[in-house]
Structure 1
Amino acid sequence: MAKFIYPFQRILELKERETETAQYEVAKALERENKSQERLDALYNKIEEAQNELKEEQKHGMTADDLKIRMNFIIQLQKQLTFEQYELNSAKQNVNRKRDLLTDRVKEEKTWTMLKDKKREEHLFAENLAEQNVLDEMATTRFFRTVTAR
């Protein structure tokens, strides 16, 4: 029986590596998205904390300069929040692009794997057919020997 050799094995291996790379890129993009979400959550908490401190200090009285400093700080945090929201949206879009790419890579790899499986089945069928032909030939030869020997 001849060994099955897939002529496109290198292409299949390339597709497998591309799939692995795409999986890694999705993981990295998800990590970036999670970190961005954590920074955003921290900013929300910081803004809420600053606003609560401002309310407390206003109850006890504060100077106009202190009020202005606190308000500028909150405004600066809100600007950072807007930037971080943009970063999070960008990270989410990147994750979606990487997932789409991964989906494409998986499809390509599956196509080449299915082709390999089909070629292997064809090879086995051809091998079995050739073996069956040899056995049939042997049986026919044996039959004729026994018939002519009588």
Structure 2
Amino acid sequence: MTEFRYALQKIVDLKGNEKTQAEWQLSKAIFRLREEQDSLSRLESEKQKWLNGICAGQSSTVSDLQAVQDYISHLERQILHKHLDVNAANQRVVSSQTLVSDKMKDEKAWSNARERAMQKFTERMLKLEQEAIDELAAMRHGPVISGKG
């Protein structure tokens, strides 16, 4: 029996590689999102720490209170920018998920086409095998003569 060789196998392989690359991009986007979320969390904790310090009365002079308030304002600006970074990272995750989904569908379509071609090939080979077996059986037993007549 001859071996099945799919003429478009390189395309099937390419689609698989594209899907793998898209999955890597998604993984990187998720990692970056987590980094941004962690950074935001650290900034918010830092701000809360300084607010708690003010409430506890640790800063006694007006200049100390002003310096702490300036630093808290600075942290609030950083938090605002970090929220924008988190949103951008989240958008990259969403677009990467869409890309992976599209690549998976594309790869599946090409894999299905390959499977259909292999199924047709197998059916054709089985038919040829059966014809060869029938021909051998006919030659071995001679022509079939009908008993009617």
Fold match, TM over 0.5?
yes
Give the AA of the match of 2:87: N
Partner of 2:82: 84
Per-residue deviation, 1:143: 3.5
* Aligned-partner Cα distance in 2 for 1:50–1:146: 102
- Provide the aligned length of Structure 1 versus Structure 2: 145
Partner of 1:102: 100
* Aligned-partner Cα distance in 2 for 1:126–1:146: 26
Give TM-score, length-normalised by structure 1: 0.91
**Aligned 1:15-94 pairs, distance under 5 A:** 15-57=15-57, 62-94=60-92
**Could you say what secondary structure the match of 2:142 adopts?**
helix
* Aligned-partner Cα distance in 2 for 1:146–1:83: 90
* Aligned-partner Cα distance in 2 for 1:142–1:67: 108
* Aligned-partner Cα distance in 2 for 1:18–1:146: 59
Give the gaps of 5 or more residues in structure 1.
none
Identity across aligned pairs (percent)? 27
Match 1:123 to one of 118, 121, 124: 121
* Aligned-partner Cα distance in 1 for 2:138–2:82: 82
Q: Going by fraction, where is helix more abundant, 1 or 2? A: 1
Give the AA of the match of 1:43: L
Deviations 1:19-56 (Å, cap 9, x if unpaired)? 11011101100000000010011111101000011122
* Aligned-partner Cα distance in 2 for 1:145–1:74: 102
